Structure 1
Amino acid sequence: MASIKRDRVNWQGYLPAITTPFSADGGLDEAGLGRLLEWLHSEGMHGLVLAGTTGEWTSMSAAERARLFALTGAQMKGKLPLIAGCSSFTAAESIAFAGHAAQAGFDGVLMTPPPYIRPRADEIVGFYETVAAAIDLPICIYNWPPGTGIDMDLGLLSRLADIDGVVAIKQSSSSFDRFVETFFALKDQVRVFGFPMNEIGLTMLRVHGGDGTMGAGGVLGRYQPGFYDAFWAGDLDGARACGAKDRVLMREWYTPELVGRFGSGPAILKAALDAQGLPGGPVRAPLLPVSDAAREEIAQTLRKLQIL
């Protein structure tokens, strides 16, 4: 039944879309990936999203993405929910990526509409219907206007939520109103991610329930899942304290439109990981690393938040 599709998965809390470590020569840093995954798990993340926007899927070959899923599944399968970024330009490609994710032991897939071509509503519905009919893993719809040029409205998201394989929506519109209308309209049918970790988000969670946040990077470690851990334990002040750290990061590193202030989102988050001695490493062209001055600003934020 459509009304209980959301209960097919146990995804909740803070699930970061993580960076993909690359080596100095541009290849996949497999050892760095292993260390990053272990750190994220030890910091209490409630799930992980691989090869999303933050994971630089756009510069990875199909073989590299399959390898990323295989390595991650071998290390983390069964320890926490794993969601594979399967965005691509065609349904056939997304279906193939979902197959690799399933083989690796992932629990679901995350997909935007095909970027660049800006498909119309009927075309977007057809895309997701084609993928859903061909794969076994549950699907999280990803509304990401900065990357696709499309801000899917409630009418379209409602049509997508009716597709049997769709169990969740990651609402990453910069308009909070879009998140609110999506949540209240569809929360009993699918899981809706995108809660801000502030007083407004906390109030919505207290009064109306909710699922969580698929945030970027998880670079603050335990404080980001800590917002939900504290809330679930009834420690509202603890949740507020954790959420305040995340809000500082979003305010100082990103514009209100969710675009990086110092460079690309992946470059900023990798600089933050580097500052902590964690596997951040280089971004891939055409993205550029942040400047030395920006690295210092990023480190200053981490010092202010008592991360460094």
Structure 2
Amino acid sequence: MDRTSVSWRGYWPAAPTPFTADGALDEQAMRNVLQLYAEQGVHGVLVNGTTGEWFAQHPAERRRVAELAVEVLGGSTPVVVGCTAYTPAEVIEFAEHARSIGADGALATPPPYAHLTPEEIFGFYEAVTGAVALPWMIYNWPRGVSVDIDTATADRLVDLPNVVAYKDSTGDELMAMATAEVVAGRVRTFGRFIHRRGMAFMLGVGGDGNIDGGGIGAPFAVPYYEAVWRGDREAALRWSGRYGAMVAALVNPDYSAKFAHPTAQLKAAMNLLGQPGGAVRPPLLDLTDPARLDALAAALDSFELRSGSTT
């Protein structure tokens, strides 16, 4: 397998997992989130990633979320299932389940907390991607796992037989560009491509899309990519400007958020927008401070997200 084995590109939300106020998995709200993404025309969906609070779910819940995603979106929108865990055996179990239910692919970061060396990172991915015959997306997420996959290691990883995509969320933008330059011709590459620099890099060197925590930016990012694909540079720059301003108002450069933990902020924003965000699950805490909620609402209103008008 390689980048030609899949058609993955464009704007993908990393879906949240809605919980009820008492902490239960809210299956109907999960269905509603997925249906919202279908209505917004997103180009793919990731479930059970960081935004999906995989770390706070029981294994059976993670499997159920994956099943719901395939049930609602399967055959119409690519569904990649996050399989990150602490051991290769656990990752393989989640990926095998994803394969068995008809998911389009699996994603994993290096195991959190372990602080793997580059050789250990390669060995980990060699083991898990070789064990399950499914298209795999490698996810570089140093904020979450305390290891930043360097360009030389990424260069080796994308040659593994079942690896078809690379999602890079490093805070080192120069390294991200260096890595994308090395891997984009071989695998689908997801990074920060919705701004002027990103668009120029994507069109000149290579790149395929963004995977964004929660999908609040869909009203801007979906038409951005569609404008890029049809060659409408003026429209693409207009949409990227709106998306970039929104992100700057809500998210810090290191992927932390302005008003709360990123997932708590996302769910609060979704609830303010009338979307099925639900509650977070411990150890996270819901955003409840009135002043911060008012500031978040004001930020959403400044981009007309609550009015529904994004033209």
The offset of 1:261, in angstroms, is 2.2
Task: Specify the alignment match of 1:296 in structure 2.
Answer: 294
Superposition pairs of residues 254-269 of structure 1, within 5 angstroms? 254-269=251-266
Query: 1:145, 1:25 → 2: CA distance?
Result: 31
Name structure 2 gaps, 5 residues minimum: 307-311
Structure-1 residue corresponding to 2:22: 25
Mapped contact 2:11–2:218 kept (Cα < 8 A) = no
TM-score (ref. length: structure 1): 0.96
- 1:201 aligned residue (188, 198, 223): 198
Q: Provide the rounded CA distance (Å) in 1 between the counterparts of 2:245 and 2:272.
A: 17
How far has the Cα of 1:292 moved from its partner?
A: 2.3
Structure 2 residue 155 is the aligned partner of structure 1 residue 158: yes
Question: TM-score, normalised to structure 2's length?
Answer: 0.95
- Unmatched runs of 5 consecutive residues or more in structure 1: none
**Alpha-carbon displacement from aligned partner over 1:213-239 (angstroms, at most 9, x marks no partner):** 111111133322111011112222222
1:47 to 39, 44, 49: 44
Code of the aligned partner of 2:64: R
- Deviation track 1:151-205 (CA, whole Å, cap 9, x = no partner) reads 1111111121121111111010011112110111111111111033111112123
2:89 alignment partner AA = A
The Cα of 1:256 is off from its aligned counterpart by 1.4
Question: What is the match of residue 242 of structure 1?
Answer: 239
- The answer (yes or no) to whether the contact 1:70–1:100 under 8 Å persists in 2 is no
Aligned match for 2:95, one of 98, 118, 123: 98
Separation in structure 2 between the aligned mates of residue 189 and residue 50 of structure 1, nearest angstrom: 24
SS at match of 1:14: strand
Map Cα deviations across residues 252-295 of structure 1 (whole Å, 9 max, x no partner). Answer: 22221111222211111111110111101111111111222222
Taking the aligned partners of 1:280 and 1:292, their CA distance within structure 2 comes to 18
Partner Cα distance (2:293, 2:218) in 1: 19
CA contact (8 A) 1:46 1:81 kept: yes
- Aligned equivalents of 1:130 and 1:107: distance in 2? 20
| Percent identity over paired residues | 38
The secondary structure found in structure 2 opposite 1:214 is strand
1:89, 1:115 within 8 Å by CA — same for their partners in 2? Answer: yes
* Aligned counterpart, 1:6: 3
- Equivalent residues of 1:220, 1:307 under 8 A apart: no
Kindly indicate whether residue 123 of structure 2 is the aligned counterpart of residue 119 of structure 1. Answer: no
Q: Per-residue deviation at 1:24? A: 1.5
1:79-90, aligned counterparts within 5 Å?
79-90=76-87
- Check conservation: 1:14, 1:213, Cα contact below 8 A: yes
Q: How does 1:213-292 map to 2 (within 5 A)?
A: 213-290=210-287, 291-292=289-290
1:305 aligns with 2:306: no
| Secondary structure of residue in 2 paired with 1:213 | strand
- Give the paired residue count: 305
Q: Following the alignment from structure 2 to structure 1, what is the Cα–Cα distance between the partners of residues 170 and 97?
A: 29
Q: Which residue does the alignment assign to 2:309?
A: none
Distance 1:58 1:260 in 2: 19
Q: Does structure 1 conserve the Cα–Cα contact (< 8 Å) formed by 2:13 and 2:211?
A: yes
Q: What pairs with 1:51-90 in structure 2 (closer than 5 Å)?
A: 51-90=48-87
Match in the other structure for 2:170: 173
